[in-house]
Structure 1
């Protein structure tokens, strides 16, 4: 495994969003593997799996625009999935050149991956889409839409703490809640503090645009051999994971189960990385 390098990449707007400067980290050598964090998280959530994967891949992690160290150039606006996919593409272009990249996305990062492989299928060698909360494709989409609207409204009227409670309970992520900051090791405390600082921007500008994203299932069928639907063993029945079952059925594949819950890459890093590595080696291209 090579040493980690920390870098910055200026990205422009594709749809009127403000420009931004992305913080990204590169470790290892070999084919490029881009890990896309979700919600209000950043590159740090993958710290437990990078080392193992970097033995065979050039592993790229980054803070999605607006999160942590990837700051907007101007005032924040509502997130655009198209813009997020353009950011991921820019990183692939810089690091992989003309070669396609392996992509693992989780949560809203998986939605970014679905948009990326839909719009630029030649740039993605394989996509592992882990629990994308694109709930508009669910049979009971109206209920899911109402729930996320309630989370947003609670944030606007009652603040972050109240919104956290509604969101965590309604998504089954209350089991993933971190211990108190004072009980964490320094490196994890820093990560947790960054996550807390991202929460307001997530509720204000990312929650509704991502959960209301509707993937182009017909386009995904054209690349079905390169899309791996995935979920956590402990979370696949919860709301954020439910849409991937619909995607899997449309593509004709089973949902691949990963260790742990929605954040299994953090809670079960070694078996999670092993499972991901096996999937990457199984490509049919």
Structure 2
């Protein structure tokens, strides 16, 4: 196991917990969902064999407390948090960034806001509903998520959200749930305490985020759009596929579905290394 150094970074309105492994060019991994730095625990040692790998808990999750627990969450602020870690750990040198789901949204905004600091971004299934032709339908869905959260709590909101992310016409239970290793299952269990914050505050804001598509197109030679091989047609798959088509770039298919990092960690990590090493 690679030696791990931990640290804390004070940012506007929060304190970030981060972990550093390896030596060499910096790779910042931005997690999605509630997993935080632990999301990458099954792939990080291999990636750190020839690079410095930084993982962290985004503001409000796990070990990165907010000054104001009720503060609104914005993609732009989360991207500035990521930039703070880059400036601290790789001053002056462009870095690679990989993000999954909500973390992919942050990574893409980081590229458009600070292109001079970013060498390459791998964005796996960013649920950018606003780029889709049926964005209005997804706005209605997000409003229902918020209503369910306010009326019945996070579990009811998660049910509404899960239905909105499925393929059109697909019912709950139409496909078997992806199997998790005991390690991944334990990680999910540990992160459940952060579900109310993530579902109630992060998801509605992040999925309503409007990216600068023209800016992304201009920087598309540094952007690798990725999706799960098993999630074709699902909402998080579609923005990556649509943007790759618009930009004339390849959509890279990673093993598994939206949570392929957890269900197929070895294969996911191997392909991520190949994509990062490609020039």
Tell me the equivalent position of 2:95. 101
Structure 1 residue 194 displacement after superposition: 3.6
Go from structure 1 to structure 2 and tell me whether the alpha carbon gap of 1:58 and 1:277 turns closer, same or farther (over 3 Å shift).
Answer: same
What's the secondary structure of 2:274's corresponding residue?
A: helix
Residues 217-245 of structure 1: CA deviation (Å, up to 9, x unaligned): 11112211100010011113211121112
Tell me the equivalent position of 1:8. 8
CA distance in 2, matches of 1:92, 1:33: 9
- Asked if structure 2 preserves the Cα contact closer than 8 Å seen for 1:2 and 1:29, the reply is no
Tell me the equivalent position of 2:218. 222
Structure 1 residue 203 displacement after superposition: 2.2
TM-score by length of 1: 0.90
- Asked if structure 2 preserves the Cα contact closer than 8 Å seen for 1:217 and 1:250, the reply is no
> RMSD value over aligned CA atoms?
1.9
Structure 1 residue 78 displacement after superposition: 1.6
Q: Mind listing any 5+ residue stretches in structure 1 that lack a counterpart?
A: 13-18
Q: Runs ≥4 in structure 1, deviation > 3 angstroms?
A: 172-179
Tell me the equivalent position of 2:164. 170
TM-score by length of 2: 0.92
CA distance in 2, matches of 1:52, 1:155: 39
Which of the numbers 199, 203, 206 marks the counterpart of 1:203? 199
Tell me the equivalent position of 1:247. 243
CA distance in 2, matches of 1:157, 1:178: 31
Residues 234-282 of structure 1: CA deviation (Å, up to 9, x unaligned): 1132111211122112221121000111111111111111101111111
- Asked if structure 2 preserves the Cα contact closer than 8 Å seen for 1:103 and 1:127, the reply is yes
Which of the numbers 142, 152, 171 marks the counterpart of 1:148? 142
Tell me the equivalent position of 2:169. none
1:270 maps to 2:266: yes
CA distance in 2, matches of 1:49, 1:184: 15
Superposition pairs for residues 41-60 of structure 1, below 5 Å?
41-60=35-54
What's the secondary structure of 1:271's corresponding residue?
A: helix
What's the secondary structure of 1:125's corresponding residue?
A: strand
Tell me the equivalent position of 1:280. 276
Q: Mind listing any 5+ residue stretches in structure 2 that lack a counterpart?
A: 167-171
What's the secondary structure of 2:232's corresponding residue?
A: coil
Greater mean alpha carbon deviation, residues 163-172 or residues 152-161: 163-172
1:133 maps to 2:116: no
Structure 1 residue 75 displacement after superposition: 3.0
Which of the numbers 3, 16, 22 marks the counterpart of 1:22? 16
1:69 maps to 2:63: yes
What's the secondary structure of 1:48's corresponding residue?
A: coil
Tell me the equivalent position of 1:15. none
- Asked if structure 1 preserves the Cα contact closer than 8 Å seen for 2:138 and 2:164, the reply is no
CA distance in 2, matches of 1:256, 1:277: 13
Go from structure 1 to structure 2 and tell me whether the alpha carbon gap of 1:32 and 1:176 turns closer, same or farther (over 3 Å shift).
Answer: farther
